[in-house]
Amino acid sequence: MHDGDFFVHKLEHRSIKPTSSRLLILREMYRGDEAISMPELERILPTVDKSTISRTLALFLLHKLVHAIDDGSGVLKYNVCDDDCDCSVDFEHTHFYCENCNRTFCLKHIAVPVVSLPDGFSLKSINYVLKGLCPECAEKLSYKK
Ligand SMILES: [Zn+2]
Ligand SMILES: [Zn+2]
């Protein structure tokens, strides 16, 4: 478990003033590979105002502390960026959406495939989402057979 200083530094690294609600939200968002949606954050932080959560997420995105993932489920999910990530195409990584538990994971060590675009197209971002079963669900479902 990380102490409070760890999260203060993460905010300061992105030039975000650490406030108690920002720290609280960041702490909940920092869950390894697993991404989290705004409705989930609202559910686990019932004491935090919904508008505070949405404003804080927007701020985190603006400062590239977190990145958004469109996994096709209709709800954006978010995960904390590595400290050296600038959210450019160079830092794009593979995401994995589990069709059974609807969780989305950042596979930060798997770079996205590079495609060469026809003349005139300029690449700004890549949304590369693989779908299937996460290890937990794959195991659970294989027991049922
Ligand atoms: Zn799953
Ligand atoms: Zn990611």
% of residues, the chain, pLDDT over 90: 82
Q: How far is the CA of 95 from the centre of ligand 1 (A)?
A: 13
Q: How far is the CA of 128 from the centre of ligand 2 (A)?
A: 10
The per-residue pLDDT of the chain, averaged, comes to 93
Find the mean pLDDT for residues 122-130.
91
Find the mean pLDDT for residues 26-52.
96
Q: Is residue 51 predicted with pLDDT exceeding 90?
A: yes
Ligand nearest to the CA of 131: 1
Ligand nearest to the CA of 82: 2
Find the mean pLDDT for residues 45-53.
96
Q: How far is the CA of 91 from the centre of ligand 1 (A)?
A: 25
Ligand nearest to the CA of 134: 1
Residue 14: exposed, middle, or buried by beta-carbon count in 10 A (0-12, 13-18, 19+)?
Answer: middle
Q: How far is the CA of 95 from the centre of ligand 2 (A)?
A: 6
Q: How far is the CA of 107 from the centre of ligand 2 (A)?
A: 7
Q: Is residue 24 predicted with pLDDT exceeding 80?
A: yes
Q: How far is the CA of 139 from the centre of ligand 1 (A)?
A: 9
Residue 126: exposed, middle, or buried by beta-carbon count in 10 A (0-12, 13-18, 19+)?
Answer: middle
CA distance 15 to 36: 23
Ligand nearest to the CA of 68: 2
Q: What's the pLDDT at 145?
A: 61
Higher pLDDT, 113 or 97: 97
Ligand nearest to the CA of 67: 2
Q: Is residue 9 predicted with pLDDT exceeding 70?
A: yes
Q: How far is the CA of 72 from the centre of ligand 2 (A)?
A: 14
Residues 77-85: contacts with CB under 8 Å, at least 24 apart: 77/35, 77/36, 77/37, 77/104, 78/29, 78/35, 78/36, 78/37, 78/38, 79/29, 79/33, 79/34, 79/35, 79/36, 79/106, 80/10, 80/26, 80/29, 80/30, 82/108, 83/10, 83/13
Find the mean pLDDT for residues 54-75.
96
Segment 76-103, tens digit of pLDDT: 999 999 998 888 888 889 999 999 999 9
Q: Is residue 117 predicted with pLDDT exceeding 90?
A: yes
